Amino acid sequence: MSKKNLEYLINRKDNQYEVVIGLEVHAQVLSESKLFSDSATKFGADPNTQVSLVDAAFPGMLPVINEFCVKQAIKTGIGLNAKINKRSVFDRKNYFYADLPQGYQISQFKDPIVGEGKVILDMPDGQKEVGIERLHLEQDAGKSIHDLDPQNTFVDLNRSGVALMEIVSKPDLRSPDEVSAYIKKLRSIMRYLGTCDGNMQEGSLRADVNVSVRAKGSKEFGTRCEIKNVNSIKFMQMAIEYEANRQVDLIEEGKSIDQETRLFDTKKNETRSMRSKEDAHDYRYFPDPDLLPLEVSDEFVKELKNNIPEMPDDKKKRFIDEFKLSPYEATILVSDIDTAKYFEEVVFKMGKNKDMKLAVNWITGELFAVLNNKNLEISQSPVSAKNLAILVNLIKNGTISGKIAKTVFELMLDGDKDPQKIVEEKGLKQQSDPKAIEALIDKIINDNREKAIEYKQGKEKLFGFFVGQAMKASGGKANPQLINEILKKKLQ
């Protein structure tokens, strides 16, 4: 792999710096009820309407763990090619905050449910492996709202107690692009598994970003800063860019970097120290005496393993082997589970005599453009996989030309219409009768005798003119291949 030219480095007068990044991703577990209580997890409910006595930490209330959340974490661990720990322990992380009703967060500190694993990133210059340090289960906190009242803070506990998976990477990432690819890959894996919806706008995926810099070639890690709770890939990239440069500037000025927690200000595009909280940073972890160690059997894990769906890396390999797609095409199609599902349905509906390349081009070309324009997910696509398959088949078997297909596609957008019907109703069927086309061409040559002579004398670019005329005369429906063949013959 030649990586040199794509390396992300920060350049100063005499020095080059490498950026070292590790991520702590918080992914909300997809589940009906919370990690330790039986209230709902739905997004966007009225404040404090999804709060149980346990979530609000009433006296004498006790946590009882949700089996499904445990399974979700283990499944995610399997998806990350990680070691599943058969015994894990829940600890209390003690600190005071208005939206932390218990005065502690139940998390896993020493013995997480999932140990070391890895994910593979597809970068423009090849594949890159990123190590996973661990994955553990923990409770989310509630929400403090500071802008409803000038004197007071309002607290909504709907999110309090929702299950989160904290996925900690090794410090293996080296650029904002790799961070982007890593987050996308994690999201893809979890969406394949159905363990997290990956929705960053709703906060179901957010990350703390650890950034340090070091002189290029150095093996030692620099002092790192943690940028808390960044909730979009773009912001992560901006925060890293800013933070790395800030650290390099300090080094260049001969100053030292404080290990600290920082905040990314999205308006000013800068990171800021959160020093005021520093003095309270002694979480006094200890095993939660309200819970016992979580033990899972080999059978429990095996059962989950057996039900893991085909994961993006495997799917990609299959698409390349079975459908003869290029690695590039396959990567695009598998990156999101819904895209992969759509593509596979198109493949299935195309039947035996299918044109895979054509299908891929239509999905990644026309369809993606429309989705992009309308800001839709593929799961909300105005054109169903079935109808797209029909359209591709119509092109493949010569019923319509690629050009006409674009017109048909436009018409399909309104109510997912059957392309076959559109072609029939609008009379868009391709003119493929050689005799009719011959007659049409004869007439055009007759009407443009001089140009025909010029062509025969060597002005070859006039061929396009005749094709255009023939197309025009047929109302765009003539089979372009036939036009070509017949024209060539007639103009000899």
Partner 1 sequence: MSIDLKTIKHISKLSRISVDEKKAEKLVGDLNSIFDFIEKLNELKTDNIEPLTSVAETTLKLRPDEVKSMNIREQIVKNSPQDNEDYFVVPKVIE
Partner 2 sequence: MSDITKQSLTELVKNIKDKKLSSTEVAKAFIDRSEKSKELNAYITEDFTSALDKAKKFDQKPNLDLKLPGIPMAVKDLFCTKDVKTTAGSKILNNFVPTYESTVTDNIWREGAILLGKLNCDEFAMGSSNETSFFGNVQNPIDKDLVPGGSSGGSASAVAGQLTPITIGTDTGGSIRQPASFTGTVGLKPTYGSCSRYGIVAFASSLDQAGPMSQNVKDCALLQEVISSYDPKDSTSIDFKRNQYSKELTNNIKGKKIGIPKEYRVDGMPKEIEDLWQKGIEYVKDCGAETIDISLPHTSYALPAYYIVAPAEASSNLARYDGVKYGFRAKGENLIDMYEKTRSEGFGTEVQRRIMIGTYVLSSGYYDAYYLKAQKVRKLIKNDFDEAYKKVDAILTPSTPSSAFKIGEKTNDPVSMYLNDIFTVPVNLAGLPGISIPAGYDSKGYPLGLQIIGKAFDEQSILNIAFAMEEKINFRNKITDWWIK
| Measured distance CA(426)–CA(418) in Å, rounded | 12
Binder among 19, 155, 304, 486 for partner 2 (CB under 8 A)? 155
- Nearest Cα to 220, choosing from 9, 20, 3? 20
Q: Does 111 bind partner 2 (CB under 8 A)?
A: no
Size of interface with partner 2, in residues (CB under 8 A): 30
Q: Which of residues 250-309 bind partner 2 (CB under 8 A)?
A: 282, 284-286, 288-292
HEC readout, 222-268: CCCEEEEEECCHHHHHHHHHHHHHHHHHHHHCCCCCCCCEEEEECCC
The DSSP secondary structure of 101-128, one letter per residue, reads TTSEEEE-SSS-SB--EEEEEEETTEEE
| Measured distance CA(167)–CA(135) in Å, rounded | 4
Q: Which does 33 bind (CB under 5 to 8 A by kind): partner 2, partner 1, none?
A: partner 1
Tokens 């440069």 — which residue? 245
Q: Which does 102 bind (CB under 5 to 8 A by kind): partner 2, partner 1, none?
A: partner 2
| Measured distance CA(468)–CA(402) in Å, rounded | 15
Closest approach, Cβ 36 to partner 1, in A, equals 9
| For partner 2, the closer CB: 92 or 187 | 92
Q: Which does 320 bind (CB under 5 to 8 A by kind): partner 2, partner 1, none?
A: none
Residue 104, both tokens? 């502690």
Segment near partner 2 (CB under 8 A); pick from 3-11, 91-99, 123-131, 304-312: 91-99
Segment near partner 1 (CB under 8 A); pick from 1-9, 226-234, 280-288, 314-322: 280-288
Residue 348, both tokens? 């299935």
Binder among 19, 28, 31, 474 for partner 1 (CB under 8 A)? 31
Binder among 10, 48, 245, 476 for partner 1 (CB under 8 A)? 48
| CA distance to 8, 38, 40, 56, per residue, from 46 (Å) | 45, 17, 12, 16
Binder among 1, 67, 96, 446 for partner 2 (CB under 8 A)? 96
Binder among 9, 10, 45, 98 for partner 2 (CB under 8 A)? 98
Closest approach, Cβ 261 to partner 2, in A, equals 16
Q: Which does 40 bind (CB under 5 to 8 A by kind): partner 1, partner 2, none?
A: partner 1
Binder among 44, 289, 415, 458 for partner 1 (CB under 8 A)? 289
x/- binding map, residues 451-480, to partner 1, per CB under 8 A? ------------------------------
Q: Does 153 bind partner 2 (CB under 8 A)?
A: yes
As beta bridge partners, residue 136 has 166
Segment near partner 2 (CB under 8 A); pick from 53-61, 190-198, 201-209, 262-270: 53-61
As beta bridge partners, residue 167 has 25, 135
The DSSP call for residue 309 is: P
Closest approach, Cβ 61 to partner 1, in A, equals 11
Backbone angles phi, psi at 274, to 5 degrees: -105, 45
Cβ-count burial of 3 within 10 angstroms (0-12 exposed, 13-18 middle, 19+ buried)?
exposed
| Measured distance CA(346)–CA(343) in Å, rounded | 5
Q: Which does 293 bind (CB under 5 to 8 A by kind): partner 2, partner 1, none?
A: partner 1
Which amino acid makes up residue 56?
A: A
Q: Sheet containing 286-287: which strands, arranged edge to edge?
A: 104-107, 91-94, 286-287
Q: Does 34 bind partner 2 (CB under 8 A)?
A: no
* Interface with partner 2 (CB under 8 A): 53, 56-65, 92, 94, 96, 98, 101-104, 153, 155, 282, 284-286, 288-292
* Interface with partner 1 (CB under 8 A): 31-33, 37-40, 46-54, 56, 64-70, 89, 96, 98, 144-146, 148-157, 274, 276-277, 279-280, 282, 284, 287, 289, 291-295
